[in-house]
């Protein structure tokens, strides 16, 4: 190696490292890729977080139906008979249930409680009717009846 540096003295010393232009080009490429990748990644996370609500609401509906078959009412006093899921089992949504029709009807709702799903709300009633609403959420759609919106329309 010493022979090469002696022979090529200045050229060998100049080939160490990167020039400022090369570093700036790499920084520009990384910035461009991140501006494209970050929105896609956050949407990917949002779709994954949104999957929690339908599964939890369907499991809750099954428990409510089981209670109804045993007691002929969805209510236990003025509240829903089955307690709504809480934080240890649910991470991204908060759940609520409301009774109507003298205990013969209910609506269970999942509302986004985490940054990526804030504004999303899903609901299901005793007949299995589903609806989705987006109030200021990133997917920007108005209420959709009959289905759950799980990705950007």
Counting runs of H as helices and runs of E as strands, what totals does the chain give? 3, 7
Structural domain contains residue 56: yes
Domain count, the chain: 1
Structural domain contains residue 116: yes
pLDDT in tens, 42-90: 999 999 999 999 999 999 999 999 999 999 999 988 899 999 988 777 8
CA distance 26 to 67: 62
Lookup result for tokens 């007949």: 127
Structural domain contains residue 39: no
130-134, strands of its sheet edge to edge:
93-100, 105-112, 120-125, 130-134, 144-145
Lookup result for tokens 């540096």: 5
CA distance 2 to 16: 15
pLDDT in tens, 99-146: 999 999 999 999 999 889 999 999 999 999 999 999 888 888 888 888
Domain span at residue 120 reads 48-145
Structural domain contains residue 14: no
Lookup result for tokens 């920007």: 140
pLDDT in tens, 23-37: 999 999 999 999 999
- Under the banding of pLDDT at 50, 70 and 90, the label for residue 1 is very low
pLDDT at position 5 over 70: no
């Amino acid at each position: 190696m010493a022979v090469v540096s002696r022979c090529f003295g200045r050229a060998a010393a100049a080939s160490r490292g990167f020039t400022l232009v090369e570093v700036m080009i790499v920084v520009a490429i990384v910035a461009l890729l991140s501006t494209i990748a970050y929105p896609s990644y956050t949407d990917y996370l949002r779709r994954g977080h949104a999957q929690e609500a339908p599964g939890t609401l369907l499991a809750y509906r099954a428990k409510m139906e089981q209670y109804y078959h045993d007691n002929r009412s969805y209510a236990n006093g003025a509240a829903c008979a089955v307690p709504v899921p809480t934080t240890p089992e649910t991470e991204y949504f908060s759940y609520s249930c409301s009774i109507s029709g003298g205990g013969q009807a209910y609506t269970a709702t999942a509302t986004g409680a985490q940054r990526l799903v804030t504004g999303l709300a899903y609901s299901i009633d005793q007949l299995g009717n589903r609806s989705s609403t987006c109030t200021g959420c990133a997917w920007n759609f108005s209420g959709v009846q009959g289905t759950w919106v799980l990705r950007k329309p």
